A and B are shown apart, each in its own frame.
Chain A
Amino acid sequence: MSGHLIDLLGWSEVLAGFVLWLLSLPFRLVSWIVNSIGSTPRNPLDDFVGWLTGPDLTAFVAVIVAVNLVLLWATAFHLLIIMWIERKMYSRLQDRRGIMIGLGSFDILRRTLGRIPLIGRPFRRPSHLGTGFLQTVADGVKLFQKEVITPATADKWMFHAAPVMIASSTLLLFVAIPWSDGFWIMGSPGADGPVNPYGILVILAAFGVAPLGILIAGWASNNKYTLLGGMRAAAQLMSYEIPLVLSIIAVVFLSRSLDPFAIVRDQSRLLAIGGVTVPFLPNWYVFHPVLWIAFIVFFITIIAEAERIPFDIPEAEAELVEGWTTEYSGMRFGIVFGFKWLRALAGAALIVILFFGGWDGPVFTTVYVPNIATLGVGTVPVPILFQEFWFTVKVYIVFIVFVWIAWSVPRVRIDQILNIGWRTLVPLSVLAILLAALARGVNWL
């Protein structure tokens, strides 16, 4: 298994230490002044500065800094990229080019930076062949500068609380899902690697908060369409939680742990079914025939949880305009819309952790780069390719499959969705559990 590149908590601690040191400077100054004026060698300010730069507070602030870094990374990196992937990909499915605003769309840049021979190539790209990655940035800017309207008859507190709930639960998802051996926040260091005994449970619980937020958003907007959308969303999401959890139980029979780190570690050894070791395949759970039903059920329920087509009846444009998000405008709409996408990405990440080996991937070579933390003294080994890269690639591939499915099939009606959830998926997931239990009981795994 490869090694990690980013040691999130370590770097956050360094950053936190730096921030706290900066914060402590005025106090140090005052303390020095007091000390030089007065005669006492120590004063309470010194104790305060000691506490401020001490290990306990640093560890605490490190977590806060790490959470902020994850938020930034999720929105600035992932959100922009998945928006771009989705829009470009479904445009190509529809036989058109799609979004095309790129660096070459700005005439000023074309005339100034485009003159530079090598670096200016992106700026010289013709407009009809643009890459389109600046479109998502433009959409964000557009949403920021729009007027934020609250309907007069809406329930103000609930109306404002709902996007906060949705955003915070999605952020909790990103905090709980580790991205590699070093890129994690929830957990503790252990002997073999990080340990997070009930990580999967936390992730599932965070998935389960959003239906409440959606229902509140739909109800508080005081609009019959959003209410309909919110009710449908609540019914759909809550009923699909059950096959979600049940199919994870089937996986747990195989992994014997709810710890995402342990699950990934278990998947990095070679595949062995019934005592027969397959030499070149890793032990990804998707290769176990026993778990195929669980995989399919889990895949479908994640699509339903993320409210993507074919399960997007809560946001069915043709009937409900924008569903439960209709009354939100400006960046509030941006938040609910964007975090819906991030929930889909988190669902894809969960699929990858559980079935596709997480951040497991081969290492081809190791490169030694200068160590930034010690200002260039010494080198740090960087594995090529590192764990975050493998995880990101796998998550994006799963996300691309989501997009592919979404833009090729029509929408399912709400009662049919509930039918599928309760009458097809729940029995299937129970069957999956039975199969996994049987295989474990026979010691076939």
Chain B
Amino acid sequence: MGPQHPMTHGLWNLRIKVDGETIVDAEPEIGYLHRGYEKIMEVREFQKNVVLTDRLCYVSSITWSHAYCLACEELMDVEVPPRGQYLRVITLELQRIASHLMWLAAYGPDLGLLTALLWALRERELFLDLLQLISGARMNQNWPRIGGVRNDAPPDFDQYCRKVIAHFRKKMDEYANVFEQSKLFQVRTVGVGRISREDAMDWGVTGPNLRACGARIDLREMDPYDAYPEIEFEPAVARDGDSYARYKVRMEELKTSCDLIERALDKLPAGPYRAKQPRRAEGEAFRRTEDSRGEALFYVIGDGDDRPYRVKIRSPIFSTMFAAPLMMRGNKVADVVAIMGSIDVCVGEIDK
């Protein structure tokens, strides 16, 4: 199935071996979107690579640039001022909500609920407007900087943000209703694509997909960065490890992100938002963050030049994609869409 196929959000190929309608084995084939990121990033200066990292996963761009900036700050030993940290947390959570809404907009039509596309995108517009308010662009914002953020939030950002979040909380219940009260949705997703916790951990699954198996592993809690140590929240965990659990975890995460944004807005300190970063760096450093899809890690090596010597990008869906055959065995061909949709594939970050 693929590479041109309505199911595959992005360009990748899935070869499945079927016995009638039951899947016996599956093998993903990727690389259609390989852009040679790691090689390009060796030529451009540290700060200029933020433009590139935005476009790794274009649906959730601030989280990727932010991960890269964290790794570079680790390398250059730069400390981000508190206001910068809080602003980063707020925009990260806004981007996480936008990314999850995009997932919802893609998941509904996969199952046949075409109306979900329009409704989820409608709410996503509000969050993209907020991101535009603070950074000037809706997607691929190029906003995080090594040492902080590019610019300060406008004065009315707080008010708009709270308004959108209040409106979104009500809408969230409506969407959850449309999905969960529909028995057809439950029949399509409960028990479909089950993976056990040990298998998930062994194959490198992280993020919401791992939390759906019952593991309370959230890097914002276990290995916090920026302002996360100062804001308390509850990661969303579900128990069964099937597609319905993955769906529940993401819907719960929408609520968690709303809470996080409000708490961060309450605590937002005044002061500088960006620290000066040195031009050259030597050494190696890595940092992992909780991306919308899992554990994203950047490993940056500098050799004294003003460009990185080596940048390694670790994408969460890279590992999860190849754990998907475990989820698919034993299910029907018609479930492939339900399973791959619930994993939330973004091919840009897989293929780099």
Contacts and interface: CB of A to CB of B under 8 A. Distances in A.
Contact of B110 (A318, A321, A412): A318
* Chain B residues touching A, range: 20 to 34
Given A90-B115, A410-B184, 19 more contacts: A90-B114, A95-B118, A310-B112, A316-B112, A318-B7, A319-B336, A321-B6, A408-B178, A409-B112, A410-B112, A411-B111, A411-B112, A411-B113, A412-B188, A413-B334, A414-B332, A415-B332, A416-B187, A416-B188
B230 to A, nearest CB: 39
B6 A317 contact: yes
29 contacts: A93-B115, A94-B118, A95-B118, A95-B119, A96-B118, A228-B333, A309-B112, A309-B114, A310-B112, A310-B184, A316-B334, A317-B6, A318-B7, A318-B337, A319-B1, A319-B7, A321-B6, A407-B114, A409-B112, A409-B113, A409-B185, A410-B111, A410-B113, A410-B182, A411-B111, A411-B188, A412-B184, A413-B188, A415-B332
A310 B185 CA distance: 11
B108 interface: yes
Nearest to B106: A318
A444 to B, nearest CB: 34
B21 interface: yes
Contact of A412 (B21, B122, B187, B332): B187
Contacts of A408: 113, 115, 178
B119 A410 contact: no
B279 interface: no
A312 interface: yes
A313 interface: yes
Nearest to A231: B21
A413 B332 contact: yes
Contact of B184 (A316, A319, A407, A409): A409
A200 B198 CA distance: 59
B118 A410 contact: no
B112 A312 contact: yes
Interface residues of A, number: 25
B326 to A, nearest CB: 20
Interface string B118-140: 11001000000000000000000
Contacts of A318: 6-7, 109-112, 337
Contacts of B188: 410-413, 416
Contacts of B334: 313, 316, 319, 413-414
B337 A319 contact: yes
Interface of B: 1, 5-7, 21, 108-115, 117-119, 122, 178, 182, 184-185, 187-188, 332-337
Q: Report the 10 A-B pairs with minimum CB-CB distance, sorted nearest first.
A: A411-B112, A94-B118, A410-B111, A410-B113, A410-B112, A413-B334, A318-B110, A318-B337, A410-B184, A318-B7
A409 B108 CA distance: 9
Contacts of A310: 112, 184
B185 A410 contact: yes
Nearest to B110: A318
A415 B6 CA distance: 22
A407 B337 CA distance: 19
Interface string A80-96: 00000000001001111
A415 B122 CA distance: 34
A423 to B, nearest CB: 13
A265 to B, nearest CB: 39
Nearest to A313: B334
Given A409-B184, A410-B111, A410-B113, A319 B118 contact: no
Contacts of B122: 95
Interface in A364-416: 407-416
A101 to B, nearest CB: 20
Nearest to A311: B112
B135 to A, nearest CB: 27
Nearest to A417: B334
Contacts of B115: 90, 93-94, 407-408
